[in-house]
Amino acid sequence: MDKIELRHQLRSRITALSDEQRVAKSRSAYHNLIKTDEYKKASVVMIYLPLPHEIDTTAVILHAWQNEKTIAVPKVSWQQRHMIPVEINSLEVGFSTEKGGLKNPITGVPMPFEDIDLVVTPGLGFDRQGNRLGKGGSYYDRFFGSKHLDAKKCGYAFSEQIIDSVPVEEHDVPVDFIVTNEGVIECD
């Protein structure tokens, strides 16, 4: 199956979840993530702000702040086709809402790549080897390819998003581990 067909299939799986299932599964994934050594050791966590049908990251962000961790989120530049990490201190103000409901920070201090300890990344699908199927823009692959980034890379997804095999291209960068509502998958 090619990436286009696979993206369509995975979007259907995600949108088929009820709001109640999404909330319960997000809560379970949150508990699994905060128990990982990678999260516990991290001082600076870069995490995405979820789109409407994605696994919710709000509880993770609030937990990080309560535990004196710094939170950075991706600031997307559509024209330059890249993203930079920006520190945030609020989930309420300082954002514009863009394509497909994406919350993009309009304020915030850029975070040096080398300061980030853990990157929690979304994806439409992941396989157990850490290969990630994104939405097709390669924003995270370009970000992960930076020579200045030495952070652990965590895929964060519903268990329905774990598949047997993700088609891989030369520029694709795998994650180190995946956290779902069912547990943690250590990748090869």
Say which CATH number the domain at 146 has.
3.40.50.10420
pTM for this model (two decimals):
0.94
Q: Please report the pLDDT score of residue 182 as a whole number.
A: 98
User: Which of 26, 103, 31, 105 is CA-nearest to residue 63?
Assistant: 31
Residue 91 CA, chain-centre distance (Å), reads 16
- List the chain pLDDT tens, one digit each, 188 residues: 788 899 999 999 999 999 999 999 999 999 999 999 999 999 999 999 998 899 999 999 999 999 999 999 999 887 787 899 999 999 999 998 887 788 889 988 899 999 999 999 999 999 999 999 988 778 898 899 899 999 999 999 999 999 999 998 888 899 999 999 999 999 97
Q: Please report the pLDDT score of residue 137 as a whole number.
A: 79
CB 46 within 8 A of CB 156: no
Q: Please report the pLDDT score of residue 33 as a whole number.
A: 98
Q: Please report the pLDDT score of residue 174 as a whole number.
A: 95
Q: Work out the burial of residue 15: count CB atoms within 10 Å of its CB; fewer than 13 is exposed, 13-18 middle, 19 or more buried.
A: exposed
Based on the structure, what is the number of domains in the chain?
1
Per the document, the length of the chain is 188
Domain hosting 71: range is: 3-186
